Structure 1
Amino acid sequence: MRSRVRAAGHAVHPMLMVFPLGLLVTAAVFDLLQRITGGSDWAIAAAYTMAAGVLGGLVAGLTGWADWALSVPKGTRARRVGLVHGAINSLVLALFALSWVLRLGEPGWAPGWTAVIVSWLGALLLGVGGWLGGELVERLSISVDEVAQPDATSSLSGHQQRFRAARA
């Protein structure tokens, strides 16, 4: 089932989601390092990394929502899994936003234990949401090109573009 939100022959959501995934997990690690070492640089790095991750997650989430709404057939397991995937990842963004707000105004952006626990809860749930995203692609063939195979031509190839146009 082909994604409707595409760029250069590929689905946009998988390209974008790697950034918030990496940023948010890194922010949670920075939080823990700050609590262990007391270093203010870790707290500042966590706050900025977290903010970038939440903003990036909103953009990636919008592209995922568009794919789910436009490409995934209603009444299918993929539709249900996609809904749970989106809901969990929305909760993740809310948790990281809350963690960011909890440190807002603190000297040196230093997070208290509540902010750290909230960010780690978000990071753990991010793993669940990511697994469901993998289930959508690997098991339910969402966003997989119907002509995919080990020797397929490049998605930028004119030959493949004509082949797709002929099949449509």
Structure 2
Amino acid sequence: MRSRVRAAGHAVHPILIVFPLGLLTTAAGFDVLHLLTDRVTFAFTAGHLIAAGLLLGVVTAATGWLDWWLVVPPGTRAHRVGLLHGLVNAVVLVLFGMSWAMRLAEENWIPQWPALAAAWLGVLVSGLGGWLGGELVERLGVSVDENAHPDASSSLGASAA
């Protein structure tokens, strides 16, 4: 089940996922730094990281949904797991979106406990979403090239097309 959304021979969705996941998780880390130091700059940075993570999360989700819709056969376990993977990660974006919106209402974007809880819950839920993504690729072979093997040619080679 080769991905249809590709760049330079590779599926785009797994390339992009590191960005929102890293930005949103790092934002939660900056929240911890803010709590430990009471420095406003850490809270301000966390808010901006969440905004960037949400924007890239939407782009990343779009590539995943396209692959799910165009590549994964309906009625298969992969289709069900893919749907659950997408929905779980949508919950992550909603949780971080709520956290970001609550910060906007505060002076200097200082997060109160509900905003912090939403972000930290988002990090935890993203672990489940990541596990489901791993299940799709590693167990169900979604987005794995049909010619993949330990000595396969480069994805940039002419035979990869």
**TM-score of the aligned structures, taking structure 2 as reference length:** 0.98
Contact 2:9 2:160 in 1 (8 A): no
* In structure 1, distance between residues paired with 2:84 and 2:116: 25
Residue 37 (1) aligns with residue 37 (2): yes
- SS of residue matched to 1:111: coil
Q: Which residue of 2 aligns with 1:86?
A: 86
How far 1:105 moved relative to its partner?
A: 3.2
Question: 5+ unaligned residues in a row in structure 1: which ranges?
Answer: 162-168
The runs of 4+ residues in structure 1 deviating greater than 3 Å are none
* Cα-Cα RMSD: 0.8
- SS of residue matched to 1:82: helix
Q: Which residue of 2 aligns with 1:68?
A: 68
Q: Which residue of 1 aligns with 2:148?
A: 148
| Sequence identity percentage | 60
**Within-5 A mapping of 1:18-167:** 18-161=18-161
Structure showing greater radius of gyration is: 1
* In structure 1, distance between residues paired with 2:122 and 2:40: 22
Provide Cα deviations, 1:2-47, integer angstroms capped at 9, x if missing partner: 0111111110100111100100000111112212221101101100
Contact 1:32 1:116 in 2 (8 A): no
